[in-house]
Amino acid sequence: MLCFSDRGPNTGLHPVSEGELRAAFSPGDGWNVVTIEPDRIQTSYHDNGAPAWSATIRRL
């Protein structure tokens, strides 16, 4: 999964925190968050890309 992050300046549309990702994909709801790593999303509005999360999430 790749989504906008709330970390750093000049975030993209609807940025989310790492905590929000973990809450949305919790083991109690049948998910296993394997990794969440900082990344960048290239957009036409951000010179060096927007802050993002790259996450690997598996269904239990």
Distances (CA, A) of 35 to 2, 18, 27, 47: 12, 11, 14, 27
How many domains would you assign to the chain? 1
**What is the residue range of 46's domain?**
2-59
Q: How far is residue 1's CA from residue 47's CA, in Å, rounded to a whole number?
A: 22
Q: Looking at residue 8, what is its pLDDT?
A: 87
**Which distant-in-sequence residues (6+ apart) come within 8 Å of 50 by Cβ?**
4, 5, 10, 11, 12, 40, 41, 43
Sign of CA dihedral 32, 23, 10, 4: positive
Which three-class secondary structure state does DSSP give residue 46?
strand
- As a whole number, mean pLDDT of residues 14-33 equals 96
Using 50, 70 and 90 to split pLDDT, how confident is the model at 4?
Answer: very high
pTM of the model as a whole:
0.88
